Structure 1
Amino acid sequence: MKSHAAPIRVLLVEDSPSQLQLLRAYLEATPDLVVVGTATNGQEAVQSTLRLRPNIVAMDIHLPVFDGYEATRQIMQHQPTPIVLFSSSAGNAEQRAMAALAAGALAVVRKPAGPADPASITDREHFIRTLRLMAGVKVVTRHPPRPTPVRVPRTPTANVELVAIASSTGGPAALQTLLTDLGPRLPVPVVIAQHVAIGFAQALAGWLGSVVPQPVHVVSEELSLTPSHIYLPADNLHLVISQPGKVSVLPSSDDDRYCPSGDYLFASVARHYGSRAIGVIMTGMGEDGARGLAELAAAGGITFGQDEASCVVYGMPKAAKALGAVRHELPLERLGLSIAALLAPAQNKD
């Protein structure tokens, strides 16, 4: 992350004149942000990004001409720039926002409403805080070759029965790659703590289920785990293993820095699975998941971390590595293939 001595230059993209005026007023009331331009459709957003080269693009997902997903895709192809998406609608718009995250956008947040809305202050503060955080992220367009998997020695004393993953910024695209590489006949269930804004958990699961070969479930109460199935928590809940073969959720509290928490998930996996689990920590800001992954490693679990070069933000994996929690550090393009190779003996038993 780099600091901005000068104000952060924001390109604001919103098709509603009244909403554009409102959002611009919010940003212009913030001393370290400056609106260098506005656009009212996806095509203008791409053209303005190429012309103005802002530090960050703040963009509605629902736009005319082409939407925020297509604008994101073109911006990342022609002029990679940090992008934060916002949305106030549900359903398809939110799933398109998840697709845009996979295409290179860094975050999606709820669109701040007017002062009369009770959630206005919270949403506005979150929106501005996210712009500040994401403006310093270096984004690039990568076209990596497909490498061969790295062989990881299989633990001779126990069979792997669960894969647990924690990720944040850049996570949706990383999850798509990893889960696709694991394949449709994965012999174990996968539990995931992916940081996502409140209101977007169902959209994340819906989008992920449309792009990976495994069924995806949103957990709001205790469920039995099924091999080859993916489990994510519902909004504002932490995903945890409650007992072997069972996944459940815990409510978040005001003291939680992250929700869902990778630390909560990995710690619960360490308690109930220990050496029979694989833990994976991937791209994301902060240090969530590092302590929990250390607990899993200490319990004999096989732990992986995404390497710096393939991370959008090398925060969570770096923190885990500093604690000695990462036994195998690999680029994203090798993670899924290597875990699949590790699980291959279990697959061959069928």
Structure 2
Amino acid sequence: MRIGIANDVPMAAEALRRVIAATRHHQVLWIARTGLEAVRMCAENRPDLVLMDLNMPELDGVEATRRIMEESPCAILIVTGRPQDSVNQVFRALGAGALDVTATPMLAGQAEGGGQLLAKLRTMEKLIRHSGGNQAMTRPAPLHTVERRGAGVQTLVAIGASTGGPVAIARTLGGWHAPADCCIVVVQHIDENFADHFAKWLAEQLIMPVRAIEQGDPLMPGTVMIAKSNDHLVLDEKLQLGYDAVPREYAYRPSVDVFFRCVAQHWRGEAIGILLTGMGRDGGEGLLALRQAGKTTVAQDQATSAVYGMPRAAAELDAAQLVLPLPKIGPFLRSTVGGRS
């Protein structure tokens, strides 16, 4: 991959450059010292991937990400010192279109930090390849089981999202308290090391309780439940939630397709599947499985998507009964499921 680095700290930029230079698969295309310079360099010489710091002069990483996604869309990985200390900035950047986040490797500890960064680069390369490069950045039969419903849960809302997802999810669910017999399960593409932070951040945005899903959890009524592993979230025939590494070859982890298919196969109550903004095609086939199982399916429209990849895949498959702008998805949920504001 051709990689741009946006970081105003010389030691941090050099650490990133050395990690990339040590590989045969990637090259440093340019190094920007300010957010504004990163926006300009993307316009002049667009890379496959930008390693974006959060705190820079002229434009911070959040606004630089937003500008790049509007003017010269490309994949962006937030690389910053101690991301856990900048949770709000991280999720604002993810909402603006960044794909993921990782810590900056330091020159003194390059072996460990460099390995983590290289693992992220491998994941980014898979996502970019499966999604068709920078062009993608522009705007079965049911089983019979004894018991099909989680205790107290009558309606299941399944939400899948990737690039731009955290803010889209917060806007969709913000200001709403779902009825006591409704459970909301969210599958957001995010590294497991930051998933607990995502759950805490989302809890600050919502008036409903938010919980990160542990292996073996039941569906919890009146709760927003968040996938927290790089393995795939699954719902089994006993209606217990868990994680499974298979299929291992999937570039998208956790996969929205995997969870949506589980819901289509095992859930017999009312269900609504919602596919929000995201790079790639994950979720389209799963949403189609939900529609074929008689569930209500919704996809975000192109105009309001940070990246119109996943919703586009659903539209191409005719998987979504409704294609709605983001501001209308929340009101649709309220009118369909009930609850209170």
Q: TM-score, normalised by structure 2?
A: 0.76
Q: SS of the residue aligned with 1:189?
A: strand
SS of the residue 1:285 aligns to: coil
Matching of residue 55 in structure 1 with residue 49 in structure 2: no
SS in 2 for 1:309: coil
Q: Does 1:170 align with 2:164?
A: yes
Task: State whether residues 12 and 35 of structure 1, in contact with CA within 8 Å, keep that contact through their aligned partners in structure 2.
Answer: no
SS in 1 for 2:78: strand
What's the secondary structure of 2:303's corresponding residue? helix
Corresponding position: 1:271 with 2:265: yes
1:74-85 equivalent positions in 2, closer than 5 A: 83-85=76-78
Cα offset for 1:300?
1.0
Q: Give the stretch that moved more between structures: 116-125 or 314-323.
A: 116-125
Aligned position for 2:95: 102
- How do 1:120-135 residues align onto structure 2 when only pairs under 5 Å count? 120-121=114-115, 123-124=117-118, 126-127=120-121, 130=124, 133=128
1:116 Cα deviation (Å)?
5.9
CA RMSD of aligned residues (A): 3.6
Task: State the AA in 1 paired with 2:51.
Answer: A
Q: How does 1:33-44 map to 2 (within 5 A)?
A: 33-39=27-33, 44=34
Name the count of aligned residue pairs: 314
Shift of 1:50: 5.5
Cα displacement (A) at 1:92: 2.4
1:250 to 243, 257, 271: 243
Query: Does residue 1:45 correspond to 2:35, yes or no?
Result: yes
1:213 aligns with 2:207: yes
Q: Tell me, which stretches of 5 or more residues in structure 1 are unaligned? A: 1-6, 141-158
Q: TM-score, normalised by structure 1?
A: 0.74
Give the letter aligned to residue 260 of structure 1.
P
Distance 1:128 1:112 in 2: 16
1:81-116 Cα shifts (integer Å, max 9, x gaps): 654311453532355312321244343245456696
Is 1:302 the counterpart of 2:296? The answer is yes
The alpha carbon displacement at 1:228 in A equals: 2.8
Q: Percent identity?
A: 28
Q: What's the CA shift string for 1:181-223, capped at 9, x where partnerless?
A: 6x12444110011111242211211211122222211112222
The answer to whether the 8 A contact 2:284-2:317 is kept is yes
Q: 2:144 maps to what in 1? A: none
* Cα distance change of structure 1 residues 239 and 85 upon mapping to structure 2, 3 Å threshold: same
Cross-structure match for 1:228: 222
Counterpart residue identity of residue 25, structure 1: R
Q: Which deviations, in whole Å up to 9, do the C-alpha atoms of 1:244-279 show, x marking residues without a partner?
A: 7x4411232432332111122111211232461111
Matched, 1:193 2:187: yes
Structure 2, unmatched stretches of 5+, are 140-152
1:288 pairs with 282, 293, 306, which one?
282
Alpha-carbon shift at residue 63 of structure 1 (Å): 6.4
Give the secondary structure class of the aligned counterpart of 1:169. coil
Q: Choose 290-299 or 325-334, whichever is displaced more.
A: 290-299
Structure-2 separation of matches of 1:247 and 1:179: 23
Aligned to 1:317: 311
Question: Contact conserved, 1:274 with 1:296, CA < 8 A, in 2?
Answer: no
Structure 1 SS opposite 2:86 = helix
2 CA distance for matches of 1:262 and 1:301? Answer: 16
CA pair 280-46 structure 1, distance change in 2 beyond 3 A: same
Which one is further off, 251-260 or 209-218?
251-260
The question of 1:338 aligning with 2:326 is answered no
Structure 1 pair 63/36, CA: closer, same or farther in 2 (3 Å)? closer
Do structure 1's residue 93 and structure 2's residue 86 form an aligned pair?
yes
Query: Per-residue deviation at 1:309?
Result: 1.9
Amino acid aligned to 1:168: S
Partners of 2:28 and 2:110 in 1: CA distance: 25
**Corresponding residue for residue 323 of structure 2:** 329
> Mean alpha-carbon deviation: is it higher for 325-334 or for 55-64?
55-64
